[in-house]
Amino acid sequence: MNRYLGQTNLGLIGPLGQKKISAAKVAIIGCGALGTVAADLLTRAGVGRLSIIDRDVVELSNLQRQTLFIESDAAAKVPKAEAAAVRLRQTNSEVNIEALVVEFTGMNALELLRGHDLVIDATDNYPARFTINEACLALALPWVYGGVLGTMGTMGVFAPGGPCFRCLFTELPALGAAESCRLTGVLGSVTTIVAAAQVAEAIKIITGNEHRHNLLEFDLASGDFRTIDIARDPLCPACQLHQGEFLGRLPAPEAVVVCGEQSVLVPGGTGPVDLQSLGQRLSARGLKIEVSRYTLRIAAVDQCEVIIFGDGRALIYGTESIIRAKNIYTSLLG
């Protein structure tokens, strides 16, 4: 029995298109609401290799819309990329699934994306998208943008030879100007629609079919759908002036309150961390430690739970005070 019969019967794909899908190498940046749906659909479609890049761990509040995770993942705070990879390998053993528990930055963007055929944006912030845009321009890769807020969704394709993301969004939104899901909320069905549309465009590109050249916007509350034309900007700082504002640069080392959780993400200021050695030192101080391949988990520090990643980042749970979170981080890592 051909497991891909449902899509090979489509004139859009056919047996030849399926061979192209099976040979394709796709990177998904972000494994949240968009990334889990996109990863699931691409795995079921039978892509050859799927790289899942995400810095975060599973939270209980993620389960409302992030489809690959279960309650035990949230209880154990498993890294999202790792938890997703486990489910996806059970779904389709023919697909090479790579879990990358790392923060996507201007310093590692080219290394992470090189060797892929296509990139799917499942991030939730503009600096990451601007970095994806520059990296894909440098590597001549097509990428599919997706954004969700409240009951609204947006999706578009940016491919070599056409307008780029910064032809549409020239500058980063001013600090505090862009709404966030932490304040506005997200309807789960919106994320599913956007991710499904992203994968549809990805499959068109992989199989050599004509892809979308405009931006799709919709609002499920009002039922409105519309398209927006995208034109190349002759003064675009990315694809025309090649200013390179994001590649080769680290994000601003600022702690931030995490969307949807009473927690703070503290960036790694000390560089890579040997989690085993750190665990031994902290255990000697009487702290309850759990060390895994990707994280070190501390049950209670100043009434907060702490997860430290190998790159030096830390998630501090039980507070939304950045000052308190930084103090806890310093007490553990110096």
CB 324 within 8 Å of CB 280: no
How would you label 218-246 residue by residue, b for 16+ Cβ within 10 Å and e otherwise?
beeeeeeeeeeebeebeebbbbeeeeeeb
Given a cut of 90, is residue 269 above it in pLDDT? no
> Of the listed 164, 167, 181, 304, which one is catalytic?
181
CB 27 within 8 Å of CB 38: no
- pLDDT for the residue numbered 124: 84
Query: With DSSP H G I counted as helix, E B as strand and the rest as coil, what are the percentages for the chain, rounded to 5?
Result: 35, 25, 40
- Spatial distance between the Cα atoms of 64 and 66, rounded to a whole number of angstroms: 6
When pLDDT is cut at 50, 70 and 90, the band that residue 173 belongs to is confident
Average pLDDT of span 176-190:
69
Given a cut of 90, is residue 271 above it in pLDDT? no
Given a cut of 60, is residue 251 above it in pLDDT? yes
Average pLDDT of span 251-279:
80
Q: State the average pLDDT for the chain.
A: 91
When pLDDT is cut at 50, 70 and 90, the band that residue 177 belongs to is very low
DSSP state of 63: G
In the chain, domain spans? 5-229, 256-333
CB 146 within 8 Å of CB 155: yes
Average pLDDT of span 278-301:
90
Burial class of residue 317 in the structure, from the number of CB atoms within 10 Å of its CB (0-12 exposed, 13-18 middle, 19+ buried):
middle
- pLDDT for the residue numbered 14: 95
Nearest alpha carbon to residue 47 among 121, 144, 119, 101? 119
Percentage of the chain lying above the pLDDT 70 cut = 94
195-223: per-residue pLDDT in tens? Answer: 999 999 999 999 999 999 999 999 999 99
When pLDDT is cut at 50, 70 and 90, the band that residue 255 belongs to is confident
Given a cut of 70, is residue 236 above it in pLDDT? yes
Helices 188-207 and 14-23, axial angle in degrees (round to 10):
100
- Spatial distance between the Cα atoms of 239 and 180, rounded to a whole number of angstroms: 28
Average pLDDT of span 245-253:
79
Phi-psi region of 66 (alpha: psi -120 to 50; beta: other; left: phi over 0): beta
Q: Do the bridges between strand 263-266 and strand 314-317 make them parallel or antiparallel, or are there none, so unpaired?
A: antiparallel
CB 314 within 8 Å of CB 329: yes
Given a cut of 50, is residue 310 above it in pLDDT? yes
Q: Do the bridges between strand 143-149 and strand 118-121 make them parallel or antiparallel, or are there none, so unpaired?
A: parallel
Q: Do the bridges between strand 25-29 and strand 49-54 make them parallel or antiparallel, or are there none, so unpaired?
A: parallel
Top-confidence range, 24-33, 178-187, 268-277: 24-33
Question: Is CATH 3.40.250.10 what the domain over 5-229 is classified as, yes or no?
Answer: no
Nearest alpha carbon to residue 58 among 30, 81, 91? 81
181 is catalytic: yes
Average pLDDT of span 313-320:
91
- pLDDT for the residue numbered 72: 96
CB atoms within 10 A of CB 274: 11
114-136: per-residue pLDDT in tens? Answer: 999 999 999 988 999 999 999 99
Given a cut of 90, is residue 252 above it in pLDDT? no
Given a cut of 80, is residue 174 above it in pLDDT? no
- Spatial distance between the Cα atoms of 312 and 286, rounded to a whole number of angstroms: 21
What is 151-188 written as a DSSP string? Answer: TEEEEEEE-TTS--HHHH--SPPPTTTS--HHHH-B-H
Given a cut of 80, is residue 2 above it in pLDDT? yes
Sign of CA dihedral 38, 42, 47, 49: positive
Phi-psi region of 101 (alpha: psi -120 to 50; beta: other; left: phi over 0): beta
Q: Which contiguous run of DSSP H or E holds residue 122? A: none
When pLDDT is cut at 50, 70 and 90, the band that residue 100 belongs to is very high
- Spatial distance between the Cα atoms of 316 and 304, rounded to a whole number of angstroms: 7
- pLDDT for the residue numbered 147: 95
Question: Is CATH 3.20.20.80 what the domain over 256-333 is classified as, yes or no?
Answer: no
